[in-house]
């Protein structure tokens, strides 16, 4: 039985697959990139290598004869922090604390007066909310030295609340039609190439399409999206207009890994203060996707039982 990228599979599926290896002399072969140290495959297989008579082989890119130094250097530059440790060094390390530790307000914000006069393309990226915040981010993409830079020019951030006569916050429901009205006001006079929307927002997507808005469903893979944002921050290719995007800037400081999910071996952000963060990763992962899986990043775990 050969299971490719086993760490991405449910443990129950793997157990059922291995139960079929009932003939004499059967062997199991696994490969994968590392995840967190509490992941079920790390805990139940790699950590029990001696007990289960496992041959554990750790490979990195330097062991891949098909990659030249220029290519390997390019991949090394794609990752920082925990993802460099996992996808380049092949270490089973914990993702903890703030998700974007390399965000620097001095480096990644600009003033409205310093915004370029023109852009190659304009996009809107949306995270959907009815009682949770609904977010639209207006982004200008500008190529500088043949590299795309993302300028976050404005934000629409509807919190799904209003203050009552006593000054207290109350939940309100805003319809898709009202979101459309606010969207049109935000984008008036701007040639939006495409609007990227969370694929779960079916009703909003259908309404926008009915109104002849060019919609693309977002690539919402979490880890890949976070990785590309980390990479762009590190290369200082994200520029946020501070006066226009206070909620986006606020969320950078509170966007953290979920400790309870880590105990289960899962990498997930805490589902709070993440709406503008989601819209930002939808934008970059959809337009400039990064894939952290595959042969270039694999650290193979060969198991011969």
Output the pLDDT for position 136: 97
Among 129, 126, 127, 132, which Cα is nearest to 171's? 132
Domain ranges (residues) in the chain: 2-78, 105-287
In tens, the pLDDT along 160-200 reads: 655 555 556 566 677 899 999 999 999 999 999 999 999 99
139-146: average pLDDT = 96
Rounded Cα–Cα distance for residues 252 and 9 (Å): 30
Phi, psi of 89, rounded to the nearest 5 degrees: -90, -20
Pairwise pLDDT comparison (75 vs 216), residue with the higher score: 216
CA distances from 42 to 14, 91, 113, 289 (A): 14, 11, 51, 28
Structure tokens belonging to residue 27:
């062997």
Rounded Cα–Cα distance for residues 193 and 215 (Å): 9
Architecture of domain 105-287: 2-Layer Sandwich (3.30)
In tens, the pLDDT along 30-55 reads: 999 888 888 999 999 998 988 988 99
In tens, the pLDDT along 66-122 reads: 999 998 888 888 777 777 777 888 888 777 778 898 999 999 999 999 999 999 999
The DSSP code sequence of 64-101 is -TT--HHHHHHHHTT--HHHHHHHTT-------SBS-T
């Amino acid at each position: 039985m050969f299971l490719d990228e086993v760490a991405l599979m449910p443990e129950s599926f793997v157990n059922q697959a291995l139960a079929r290896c009932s003939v004499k002399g059967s062997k199991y072969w696994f490969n994968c990139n590392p995840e967190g140290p509490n992941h079920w495959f790390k805990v139940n297989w790699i950590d029990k290598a001696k007990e289960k008579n496992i041959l554990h082989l750790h490979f990195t890119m330097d062991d891949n004869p098909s990659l030249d130094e220029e290519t390997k250097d390019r991949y090394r530059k794609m990752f920082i922090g925990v993802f460099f440790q996992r996808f380049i060094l092949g270490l089973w390390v914990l993702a903890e604390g703030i998700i974007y530790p390399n965000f620097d307000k001095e480096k990644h914000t600009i003033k409205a007066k310093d915004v370029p006069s023109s852009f190659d393309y304009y996009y809107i990226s949306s995270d959907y909310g009815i009682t949770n915040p609904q977010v639209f981010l207006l982004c200008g993409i500008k190529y500088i030295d043949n590299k795309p830079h993302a300028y976050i020019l404005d934000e629409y951030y509807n919190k799904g609340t209003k203050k009552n006569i006593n000054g207290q916050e109350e939940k309100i429901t805003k319809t898709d039609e009202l979101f459309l009205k606010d969207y049109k006001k935000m984008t008036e006079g701007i040639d939006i190439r495409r609007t990227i929307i969370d694929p779960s927002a079916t009703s909003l997507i259908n309404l926008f399409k009915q109104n002849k808005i060019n919609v693309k469903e977002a690539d919402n893979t979490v880890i890949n999206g976070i990785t590309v944002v980390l990479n762009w921050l590190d290369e200082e290719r994200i520029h946020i207009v501070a006066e226009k995007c206070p909620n986006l800037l606020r969320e950078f400081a509170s966007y953290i890994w979920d400790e309870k999910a880590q105990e289960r071996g899962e990498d997930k952000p805490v589902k709070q203060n993440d709406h503008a963060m989601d819209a930002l990763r939808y934008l970059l992962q959809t337009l400039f996707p990064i894939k952290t899986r595959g042969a270039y990043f694999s650290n193979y775990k060969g198991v011969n039982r």
